[in-house]
């Protein structure tokens, strides 16, 4: 029997693509192994969002170069594959499969070509209106399942490779999404995460014609589901109806990830983000007014081309104004093909590093303050794991906070039965990145 190994880099869309690819291979008779050493087929599902991410795959390929020619097949999937295409064969001649995400429906056929003695196969066309769906998806988590609702991206943020690596937007039909969600609920999954680079621009291509908020309401109404999450939202397409849907339905988690990138309207314009700081703040107001206490998280890029000290200070003042519950921050990285390459006034690496540190320190104190506000409250928590070193269960709240807790009824794991349960936990302590609590009895 043939074996495969797959390593995944990048965002949740890539993580879920790897689940679909693995499922497809298992259905073809392959079995999965945990290390590249024993694998006949070694796959890297790659990310190209920043230069560092791209470099990772080439260092991995270098590492296993000596194993090439011993019957091992190396394949590069994902965003670096789409971006670099056949150039990958020049950089790493032992690779024989290069395929971007829009070609995964053709994977079984490509593998047959390789098995029949083909030395190099590629799947690089972006000329597709389909999304990659397979009934064989192998899910990594037995309680939380991902569902892709839209592929690609039609925005053209000046710094971003995604429109080039994932192609144009393609929404999946509401019928096919609902069918998958119902099946998952029947199989016992209680949490579903709807995925897309820009979920807000979801537009059902079938005659039902649902928009994103309608889809949210319908998925949340499926029997058996306790939590529905979605990511990522683009502020330009984020409408008030999404907040209303969350308000109405506790199954829709009270967490919205709304990447802002910068607090300066001038920089947002140079980034081609299609909203001003004020327009962004209006969306934050809708979220803050909601009675359910919706947590808000974001992404920040520091040191974008032309970002002055004044622009940067506006990002800092935005952090104070919004008080995000968590954020991801990145130094701007120049990427191939992107419009921002032609901008001038690049910020030095040293200055980007300084700005990143300032953002992270500020955010750390905001998070300590935000998390401390929850001390004394009771949070519904999904049990995700157990930390042997601390003797605490690891849980997650609807707001997507990590809540580590002790439980006098289940002091330690007894099989896997408690995992995936929903329990009430009283918060007793708060740190910048997580909460600590005790399970309350009878809930």
195 lies in the binding site for ligand SF4 (CB under 6 A) = no
- Nearest approach in angstroms of CB 105 to ligand SAH is 22
Does position 165 interact with ligand F3S (CB under 6 A)? The reply is yes
In the complex, minimum distance from the CB of residue 232 to ligand SF4, in angstroms, rounded to a whole number:
7
| Both structure tokens of 253 | 């988690």
Residue 79, binding choice from ligand SF4, ligand F3S, ligand SAH, none, Cβ under 5 to 8 Å by partner class: ligand F3S
Residue entry with tokens 């589901």? 225
Q: How far is the CB of 15 from ligand F3S (least distance, A)?
A: 9
Minimum distance of ligand SF4 from residue 198's CB (angstroms): 5
- Cα 380 to Cα 86, 186, 192: the distances in Å are 50, 22, 17
Can residue 155 be called a binding residue for ligand SF4 (CB under 6 A)?
yes
CB nearer to ligand SF4: give 153 or 300. 153
Distance of CA 183 to the CA centre of its chain: 22
Among 330, 386, 393, 405, binds ligand SAH (CB under 6 A): 330
Q: How far apart are CA 284 and CA 265, in angstroms?
A: 16
Structural element, H or E, at residue 379: strand 378-387
- Does 163 contact ligand SF4 by CB under 6 A? yes
Task: Quote the CA–CA distance of 248 and 163 in Å, as a whole number.
Answer: 34
Which residue is associated with the tokens 């703040």? 281
- Distance, in Å, from the CA atom of 159 to the CA atom of 304, rounded to the nearest integer, reads 8
| Contacting residue, 150, 162, 347, 403, with ligand SF4 by CB under 6 A | 162
Task: Answer whether 268's CB lies under 8 Å from 262's CB.
Answer: yes
Q: How far is the first Cα of the chain from the last one, in angstroms, to the nearest whole number?
A: 48
- Main-chain dihedrals φ then ψ at residue 315, nearest 5 degrees: -65, -45
Smallest distance from ligand SAH to CB 158, Å: 9
Q: Which of 153, 184, 256, 382 binds ligand SF4 (CB under 6 A)?
A: 153
**Does 198 help bind ligand SF4 (rule: CB under 6 A)?**
yes
Q: Retrieve residue 71's tokens.
A: 């019957």
Phi, psi (degrees; rounded to nearest 5) at 300: -130, 135
163 binds, among ligand SF4, ligand F3S, ligand SAH, none (CB under 5 to 8 A by kind): ligand SF4
Q: Is 49 in the site for ligand F3S (CB under 6 A)?
A: yes
Q: What's the CA gap between 69 and 80, in Å, rounded?
A: 23
Query: Looking at 58-66, 90-98, 158-166, 388-396, which segment touches ligand SF4 (CB under 6 A)?
Result: 158-166
36 binds, among ligand SF4, ligand SAH, ligand F3S, none (CB under 5 to 8 A by kind): none
Beta strands in 9-110 (DSSP E): 31-32, 41-46, 73-77, 95-99
Q: Is 283 in the site for ligand SF4 (CB under 6 A)?
A: no
- Please say which residue, 279 or 384, places its beta carbon nearer to ligand SAH: 279
- Which residue from 95, 121, 160, 195 is in contact with ligand SAH, where contact means CB under 6 A? 160
3-state SS of 153-178? CCCCCCCCCHHHHHCCCEECCHHHHH
Residues 335-354, interacting with ligand SAH (CB under 6 A): 335
The Cα angle at residue 302 between residues 297 and 308, in degrees rounded to 5? 130
Q: Could you give the CA distance from residue 286 to residue 183 in angstroms, rounded to a whole number?
A: 33
Q: Is 11 or 185 the residue whose CB approaches ligand SAH more closely?
A: 11
What does the buried/exposed string (b/e) look like for 219-230 if buried means 16 or more CB atoms within 10 Å of the residue's CB? bbebeebbbbbb
Cα–Cα distance for residue pair 27/25, rounded to 1 Å: 5
In the three-class reduction of DSSP (H, G, I as helix; E, B as strand; rest coil), residue 280 is classed as helix
Considering the rule CB under 6 A, would residue 161 count as an interface residue with ligand F3S? yes
Stretch that binds ligand F3S, among 159-167, 224-232, 237-245, 416-424 (CB under 6 A): 159-167
Judged by CB under 6 A, the residue of 36, 78, 167, 259 near ligand SAH is 259
Per-residue x/- marks for ligand SF4, 209-248, CB under 6 A?
A: -------------------------x--------------
Q: Which residues contact 203 (CB under 8 A, 6 or more apart)?
A: 171, 209, 211
Site string for ligand SAH, 213-252 (x = CB under 6 A): -------------------x-x------------------
Site for ligand SF4, rule CB under 6 A: 153, 155, 157, 160, 162-163, 197-198, 234
Site for ligand F3S, rule CB under 6 A: 10-11, 13-14, 47-49, 78-79, 161-162, 165-166
């Amino acid at each position: 029997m043939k074996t495969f190994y797959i390593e995944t880099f990048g965002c949740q869309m890539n993580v879920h693509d790897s689940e679909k690819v693995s499922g497809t291979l298992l259905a073809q008779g392959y079995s999965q192994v945990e290390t590249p050493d024993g694998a006949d087929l070694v796959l890297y599902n790659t990310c190209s969002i920043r230069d560092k991410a791209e470099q990772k795959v080439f260092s991995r390929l270098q590492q296993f170069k000596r194993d090439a020619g011993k019957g091992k097949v190396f394949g590069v999937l994902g965003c670096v594959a789409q971006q670099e295409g056949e150039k990958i064969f020049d950089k790493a001649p032992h690779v024989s499969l290069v395929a971007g995400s829009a070609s995964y429906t053709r994977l079984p056929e490509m593998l047959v070509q390789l098995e029949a003695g083909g030395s190099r196969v590629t799947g690089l066309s972006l000329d597709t209106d389909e999304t990659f769906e397979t009934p064989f998806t192998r899910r990594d988590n037995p309680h939380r399942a991902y569902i892709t609702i839209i592929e690609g991206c039609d925005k053209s943020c000046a710094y971003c490779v995604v429109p080039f690596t994932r192609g144009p937007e393609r929404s999946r039909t509401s019928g096919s999404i609902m069918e998958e969600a119902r099946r998952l609920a029947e199989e016992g999954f209680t949490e579903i995460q709807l995925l897309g680079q820009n979920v807000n621009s979801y537009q059902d291509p079938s005659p039902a014609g649902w928009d994103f908020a309608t889809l949210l309401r319908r998925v949340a109404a499926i029997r058996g589901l306790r939590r529905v999450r979605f990511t990522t939202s683009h502020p330009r397409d984020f409408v008030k109806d999404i907040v209303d849907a969350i308000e109405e339905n506790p199954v829709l988690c009270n967490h919205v990830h709304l990447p802002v990138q910068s607090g300066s309207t001038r920089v947002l314009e140079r980034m081609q983000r299609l909203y001003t700081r004020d327009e962004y703040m209006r969306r934050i107001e809708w979220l803050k007014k909601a009675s359910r206490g919706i947590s808000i998280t974001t992404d920040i890029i520091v040191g974008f081309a032309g970002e002055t000290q004044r622009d940067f200070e506006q990002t800092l003042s935005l952090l104070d104004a919004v008080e995000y519950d968590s954020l991801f921050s990145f130094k701007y990285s120049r990427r191939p093909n992107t419009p921002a390459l032609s901008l001038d006034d690049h910020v030095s690496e040293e200055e980007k590093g300084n700005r990143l540190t300032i953002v992270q320190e500020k955010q750390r104190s905001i998070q300590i303050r935000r998390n401390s506000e929850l001390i004394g409250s009771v949070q519904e928590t999904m049990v995700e794991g157990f930390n042997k070193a601390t003797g605490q269960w690891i849980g997650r709240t609807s707001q997507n906070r990590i809540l580590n807790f002790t439980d006098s009824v289940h002091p330690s794991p007894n099989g896997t039965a408690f995992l995936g349960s929903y329990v009430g936990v009283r918060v007793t302590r708060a740190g910048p990145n997580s909460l600590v609590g005790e399970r309350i009895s009878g809930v």
